[in-house]
Amino acid sequence: MNSRWRSGNRVRLLENGEEYFPAVFDAIRAARHEVIVETFILFEDKVGFELQAALIEAARRGAQVDILVDGFGSSDLTPAFRAALAEAGVRLRGFDPAPRILGVRANVLRRMHRKLVVVDRAVAFVGGINYSADHLSDYGPEAKQDYSVELRGPIVEDVHRYVAAAIGPRSAPDVDVPASVSSDAAGTAEAMLVVRDNDRHRDDIERHYRAAIRSARKQVIIANAYFFPGYRLLRQLRRAARRGVDVHLILQGEPDMQIVKTAAELLYDHLQRAGVHVHEYGKRPLHAKVAVVDDDWSTVGSSNLDPLSLALNLEANVILRDRDFARVLRGRLQHLIDHECRPAPVPPPSRWSLWPQLRSAVVFHFLRHFSTWADYLPRHAPKLKVLHPSPAERAEADERAGNEVESMQGARGH
């Protein structure tokens, strides 16, 4: 996929499940032709069942419906849940599923971590929110803080083209939706879909982050749940702060996994000594993957700034150039800083402590080379698997089997 800027788009920021789920479910319920959903996590809770119902309704109305879930993140879907989707005509696929080993999910590396939706080639959703109840505030203290965007305009066609290719061959022909639906200008925002894979786009998302930070003149605000980036990105953050840019990081203060906070804390001293402001979000677990730079550059997506997202997982972000959207996102993030964050502890001025210096040296060399050593981690060609065949897929399989039998009988006859 070749990333390129598309002008004439309308963008709406969606914060948390309270804004995201109604927007997505309403779009699916209004679908006339096609629905494609990609997600890392789909749980069988009130959110998962509402998504299931919306997809089933759309399929029964005659829309072509495809959903791709990750084989690690969504490994617990029951046969009954899968069968209900399939019997309604929904094509359900899993990305690289694998059996558990002694009850443990061992297929942890190189996951499909994207969260993308396209409906009728007219509206797309890109972000970091999974289909699970822990993205709603009534879940309790463990409810996640996260963001997504709703997109309309020419960028939708790029998202559609990408997800349609990612879900693999479909038994039905491509849906005939008028091209003007997504190609017509809908707003003033410029947008670009940027992905990370293990082939030709290994560092695309990180490169765009680095370029934006390098060009920053006034302010950088990054809110990222899992923060342990490569050395080159850290260097750009430090350089920006030293040349007078107001650089702020919003990281987890109440992490869903303690190792996340421990890893990020190893970088505090290195960043704060250069003038970077580090804030720990403490209201609930932070799950955000967003940033805003200066007056008009911003990004929202699925990519964390850690080794898994930057060097292993399949990710998708949308990058935007739009003053109105940047102002809205900056306002939401500034609210977190002002009301729901605490400043990270600032290191003492003395530089003579041996332990911080030793720790910084170890971390420096680890991060400097992690994109290289990541290539040596286990890899294989991932597969898409039909998790439960729909009636159309069963009929197609029967037809193929019949054709093979006829071919074999014809060969014997000769």
SS (H, E, C) 71-122: CCCCCCCCHHHHHHHHHCCCEEEEECCCCCECCECCCCCCCECCCEEEECCC
**d(Cα 332, Cα 336) in Å, to the nearest integer?**
7
Of the residues 115, 248, 279, 388, which is catalytic?
Answer: 115
Catalytic residue among 66, 96, 120, 204: 120
CA nearest to 58, candidates 18, 83, 28, 36: 28
In a domain, 152, yes or no: yes
**Which member of 33, 160, 287, 388 is catalytic?**
287
The answer as to whether 69 is a domain residue is yes
Global pTM value: 0.91
Catalytic residue among 144, 208, 248, 289: 289
Active site annotation includes 289: yes
Q: Give catalytic status of residue 261 as yes or no.
A: no
The predicted pLDDT at position 173 comes to 47
283 included as an active-site residue: no
Question: Does any domain span residue 368?
Answer: no
DSSP 300-358: EES--BSHHHHHTSBEEEEEEE-HHHHHHHHHHHHHHHHHTEEEPPPPPS----HHHHH
* 315 and 391 co-located in one domain: no
112 and 210 share a domain? no
Q: How many Cβ atoms are within 10 Å of 152's Cβ, its own excluded?
A: 21
Q: Is residue 383 annotated as part of the catalytic site, yes or no? A: no
Would residue 405 count as lying in a domain? yes
Q: Out of 113, 135, 248, 388, which one is annotated catalytic?
A: 113
Collect the ranges in the chain with pLDDT lower than 50.
Answer: 172-173, 180
CB-CB contact of 100 with 13 (8 Å): no
Residue span of the structural domain in which 61 resides:
6-187+383-413
170 lies in the same domain as 246: no
| CATH number of the domain enclosing 257 | 3.30.870.10
Domain membership flag for residue 166: yes
The model's pLDDT over 103-137, given as tens digits with 9 standing for 90+, comes to: 777 777 889 999 999 999 999 999 999 999 999 99
Give a yes or no: residue 297 inside a domain: yes
* DSSP run (H or E) holding 236: helix 231-242
Task: Decide: helix, strand or coil at residue 379.
Answer: coil
Is the same domain home to 241 and 119? no
- Specify the DSSP element, H or E, that contains 388: strand 384-388
Q: How far, in Å, CA of 58 to CA of 356, rounded?
A: 57
Supply the pLDDT for residue 104.
77
Catalytic, out of 197, 246, 294, 295: 294
Please state, in angstroms and rounded to a whole number, the distance separating the CA atoms of residues 197 and 98. Answer: 20
- Answer whether residue 177 is part of any domain: yes
Q: Indicate if 12 and 144 belong to the same structural domain.
A: yes
Asked if 218 is an active-site residue, the reply is no
Domains contained in the chain, number: 2
Residue 133, domain member (yes or no): yes
Are 220 and 326 in a shared domain? yes
pLDDT of residue 178: 58
Specify whether 267 is located in the same domain as 134.
Answer: no
Tokens standing for residue 260 = 């996340």
Residues 97 and 177 both lie in one domain: yes
